[in-house]
Chain A
Amino acid sequence: MSSVLYDVPGPKARLRNVVYTIVFLAVLGLVAFWVLSALADKNQLSADKWSPFATDSRVWTTYLLPGLVETLKAAALSILIALPLGAALGIGRLSDHRWVRVPVGAVVEFFRAIPVLLLMMFSSAVYAAYTPISSDFRPLYAVVTGLVLYNASVIAEVVRAGVLSLPRGQGDAAVALGMRKGQTMLYVLLPQAVTVMLPALVSQLVVIVKDTALGGAMLGFGELLSQNRQITANYGANTIATFTVIALIYIVINALLTRLAALLEKRLRQGRKSAATKTVVVPVVDVGSA
């Protein structure tokens, strides 16, 4: 056992662990039995509720896959717009000029403090009142706007932490070579910071994918989650089956992204071992945004 919290179990402890395992298994079994019998009571376990997902390809081609495409489209647009904006805000917060640093800081802190849902609803209303965007596309615009405003300010903090984590000598050396402030940032600091903060950026993508579901629930955006209404309406109220499949799709996508972030972090840590300087990888911060 690798844990420092308990000794290598002896005969007595092993026996106790077996007892605990059996008790815990019994509790899990009871919960599972209760859930399954509750589901069976409401007729949610019958084969015809679940089989459409395996046998009827139209569930996928008409509902789930188009929904998934909308989800991924919104997520991709958001990260593509939020990245440069966030980098600009992050650099702005590091500016030597007070009149740049302070207002940019205020903007970043403001958008980080507001729930994404409020930003989405507000931008949807603004688009409806002041722009000619047709109501077909308005939910997508609103979702992307809300996600960009929030995530750009989060990315700004990641960029700032990434640049600040670099050894001081990097900036000093660039100045000694006669580079301007802009050149130092663009050619020396930012490229190194990007590799340091790559894992944090990838895990931010998980947050973005999860947050697109808000648009489906509150703004009528036709993404993956919102497809549950059509599926349950067309395939005989198979609520449990539909939510299980939709949740599984999200879990698989996000688990893959999380794995990618962990892989990147590991490679970065290994890659930097040979270098003389000790570099810090910006920690992956997910505190549970929606």
Chain B
Amino acid sequence: MFDFLDSGQYDLLGAFWVTAQLALYSAIGSLVWGTVLTAMRVSPVPLMRGFGTAYVNVVRNTPLTVVIVACSFVLDQTLAITLGGEDFKETGFRLAVLGLTAYTGTFVCEALRSGINTVPAGQAEAARALGMSFTQVLTAIVLPQAFRAAVTPLANVIIALTKNTTVAAAIGAAEAALLMREMIENEAQALFTVFALFAFGFIVLTLPTGLILGWAAKRLAVKR
């Protein structure tokens, strides 16, 4: 049943390793970018608030596929920006991380904003009464509590991100979905086995993320 795997023609673990790397780098990038966007959206400077809101509303409503495909067509093929990628696959990988970060950052921003809303107003008021500046209030008082409250929505965003890495196949990053397409074409008789393998692979990737972050959400929740 799995004999087509013995030929050594398909690097299944390698493909899922690329998927995991895509998810990891994009997760780090989008958490940082999402936090910056959140800071802009709650800042006292109207222009920054406007920029943050406009960015989130525009990017969130664009399909991820358009973002990723545009990264390849516009940045790579038109403007020759490859982010230091040497060949097609490596450039695809780096541009996919960029696209996934730009897209997922907006959802991180929304999750964090919902987290900020759970922080009681008294916390920020007390910090201000102590004479803290906006940056101090945000980084020392509000965001640490907001992150703890936002673990569950953030976990859902990270899980969605892991599944979204498959879109990188559209610009040639050598991850799981691309390998699945190749295997479906070559091993038509084992169609259901191939699908089951890849489905299992994604469940293995997303299930622990959900369980660990669910556990973390319970541990970190601020008791009020």
**Chain-A contact segment, one of B3-11, B83-91, B156-164, B212-220:** B156-164
Residues 10-29 of A, flagged 1 when their CB comes within 8 A of B and 0 if not, give: 00010001001100110010
Q: Given known contacts A114-B199, A240-B78, is B65 in contact with A214 (CB within 8 Å)? A: yes
A213, B180: Cβ atoms closer than 8 Å: no
Chain B contact residues: helix, strand, loop or mixed: helix
Of the candidates A4, A20, A44, the one whose C-beta lies within 8 Å of that of B125 is A4
- CB-based contact B74/A206 at 8 Å: no
With a CB–CB cut-off of 8 A, which chain B residues contact A7? 128
Interface stretch (choices A60-68, A78-86, A119-127, A163-171): A119-127
In the complex, B166 has a CB within 8 A of chain A? yes
**Known: A1-B44, A251-B61. Contact between A288 and B103, CB under 8 A?**
yes
Is A235 located at the chain interface by the 8 A CB criterion?
A: no
A255: which of B57, B65, B74, B199 is its contact (CB, 8 Å)?
Answer: B57
- Assess whether B12 is interfacial by the CB under 8 Å rule: no
**Using Cβ atoms and an 8 Å threshold, which residues of chain B touch A118?**
166, 177, 180, 195, 198-199, 202
B-facing residues in A197-242 (Cβ within 8 Å): 206, 209-214, 216-218, 225, 228, 237, 239-240
**Residue A103 at the chain B interface, CB threshold 8 Å:** no
Any chain B CB within 8 A of the CB of A260? no
Contact assessment for B79 and A5 in the assembled complex, using a CB-CB cutoff below 8 Å: no
Q: How many residues of B contact A (CB 8 A)?
A: 64
CB distance from B71 to the nearest CB of A (A): 10
Which residues of the partner chain B approach A240 to less than 8 Å between Cβ atoms?
A: 74, 78
A110 within 8 A of B: yes
From B196, which residue of chain A is reached at the shortest CB distance?
A122
* CA distance in complex: A13, B135 (Å): 13
1/0 contact string of B145-165 vs chain A (CB within 8 Å)? 000000001001101110110
Q: Does A113 contact B (CB under 8 A)?
A: yes
Q: Is A258 an interface residue (CB 8 A)?
A: yes
- Contact yes or no, B66 A218, CB < 8 A: no
Cβ contact within 8 Å between A251 and B58: yes
Judge whether B124 is part of the interface by a CB distance below 8 angstroms: yes
- Does residue B107 face the partner (Cβ distance < 8 Å to A)? yes
**Residues of chain B from 39 to 73 with CB closer than 8 A to chain A in the complex:** 42, 44-48, 51, 57-58, 60-66, 68-70, 73
A286 at the interface (CB under 8 A from B): yes
Q: If A114-B199, A243-B70, A288-B160 touch, does A225 touch B63 (CB 8 Å cutoff)?
A: yes
Bound complex: CA of A247 vs CA of B68, how far in Å?
Answer: 12
Closest Cβ of chain A to B99, distance in Å, is: 11
CB of A193 to closest CB in B, whole Å = 22
Evaluate contact between B62 and A251: CB separation under 8 angstroms.
yes
Task: Kindly identify which residue among B65, B121, B157, B195 contacts A216, using a CB–CB cutoff of 8 Å.
Answer: B65
Q: Which A residues fall within an 8 A CB radius of B?
A: 1, 3-7, 9, 13, 17, 20-21, 24-25, 28, 38-39, 42, 44, 110, 113-118, 121-122, 125-126, 129, 206, 209-214, 216-218, 225, 228, 237, 239-240, 243, 246-247, 250-251, 254-255, 258, 285-290
Assuming A24-B51, A25-B47, A225-B65, what are 5 further A-B pairs, CB within 8 angstroms? A4-B121, A42-B80, A125-B191, A287-B107, A287-B157
